[in-house]
Each structure stands twice: as structure tokens, then as C-alpha cells.
Amino acid sequence: MPLMFLNGTAMAGGADHHLVGDAPLVATTTTAPRYRFHAVGGRYPALEDVGAGGAAVHGEVYDLSYDRLREVLLPGEPDGLELGVVELADGSGSLAMVLRRAHGAAELTDISALASWRAYRGQP
């Protein structure tokens, strides 16, 4: 089954965590330090791979079924994101939702210094 890195409202305790269902949590970790982390219109987070000089972003890795991923999680994602692959802190890869390559004029606020959606939202 695919591993899925989550870094927003689908993490444990988040408003969209129900989309994960009973998928097991594999790890609480960070990405490799190669991403800019944005708040898109203040509504949802987005990872952007910038290579060197990026941040290590906090998140959770879940072992999802393909059905859960395809039928439940992906349809619930905002239009400004697309499915991609991120590098985790240990060098392994995981599926994740990343900033759509042609994101247009979406309002992006760089929150890389916080490296955490929960910190941005003022949550523990």
C-alpha cells in the first residue's frame, strides 16, 4: 500500500483527519530540507520543492490503501495541490500533496520558518 505524507488538516487531530480512516500511522517525521512551505490563501498548506536551501517540514506518514487514496483522500484535496513524491528526512520517498506546478496567482505566504501547519494555525 502507498505511504502518504500529510502535513495539513488531515493529520491527527485535524478537521480532515477522518479522510485517513483507519489507515495506520507509520511515522511522525519531517521532509528532507528541500521544500518551501506555503499557506495558500491562509486556507491550506503546500510544499514546493526548491532543492538546496529549503526547510524540513513536519508531518505524518500513513499507510493508505489505494482505494482510500483514490476514492476518499484525493477528491478532498484543494485544487491548488497535486499528487507528488517528497523526500523524507531519512532519504526515503513518500507520496504527498504538493503545490500544483501551474498554481497561477494563488496567494502564497511563505511559512517555511515555522515548518509546521499546526504552528502556523497556532495549534499545539
DSSP symbol at 74? G
Q: Whole-model pTM? A: 0.93
- The CATH number assigned to the domain holding 12 equals 3.10.490.10
Q: Quick one: pLDDT band at residue 101, thresholds 50, 70, 90?
A: confident
**How are the residues of the chain apportioned to helix, strand and coil, as percentages rounded to the nearest 5?**
15, 40, 45
pLDDT digits (tens, 9 = 90+) for 54-79: 999 999 999 999 999 999 999 999 98
Distance CA 11, CA 20 (A): 8
If one counts the domains in the chain, the total is: 1
Q: Which domain holds residue 23?
A: 3-120
Q: CA 45 to CA 33: how far, in whole Å?
A: 16
